[in-house]
Amino acid sequence: MRYFRVGYFVSAWFVLGCFQNNAPDPEIVRQTVETVLSKQVTAWNDGDLEGFMAGYWHSDSLRFVSGGNVSYGWQTSLEHYERGYPDKAAMGTLRFGETDIDVLSQDAALVFGKWLLTKENDQPWGYFTLLFCKTDEGWRIVHDHTSSAKLEEEN
């Protein structure tokens, strides 16, 4: 009986140790996701839509929701951006703010934030909710739900 208890204790310790070692370090996940977002902002501001799209899962299963429309696929999303932002002037300067990253598991994080474009005559903005998953490509956005609005002019 004594050997059973010792064996049980050692087995439990080993199993718990495995789970602890596989548990995500939330700070590392947050930093990784922030890096992806930062690279997206840099690419956007350089006029590089494909570089911006590098933060998204390169899959037909990528889901993008915006303006009451749902679309699927990396290529479809890229084409949508290319139609809406045909040149650097149309793209303006992108900023993200109010970013909140919730680590859901070692393979998933939920990001909420605000986006703002500064253009010559316009400042569209909105909020986004992104589901990041750890894929074979690294941490990528697999689901994007983005709203948009316009800054109201002061009277």
Which tens digit of pLDDT belongs to each residue from 50-82?
A: 999 999 999 999 999 998 999 999 999 999 999
Using the structure block, give the residue that is written with the tokens 């050692």. 10
End-to-end CA distance of the chain: 82
> Do 82 and 70 form a contact (C-beta atoms < 8 A)?
no
CATH class of 25-150: alpha beta
Cα gap 106→60, rounded to integer Å: 23
Taking the model in full, what pTM does it have?
0.81
Q: Is pLDDT at 15 greater than 80 in this prediction?
A: no
Which tens digit of pLDDT belongs to each residue from 36-47?
A: 999 999 999 999
Domain boundaries defined on the chain: 25-150
Find, among 98, 120, 118, 100, the residue nearest to 110 by Cα.
100
Residues with Cβ < 8 Å from 63, sequence gap 6 or more? 70, 71, 72, 142, 143, 144
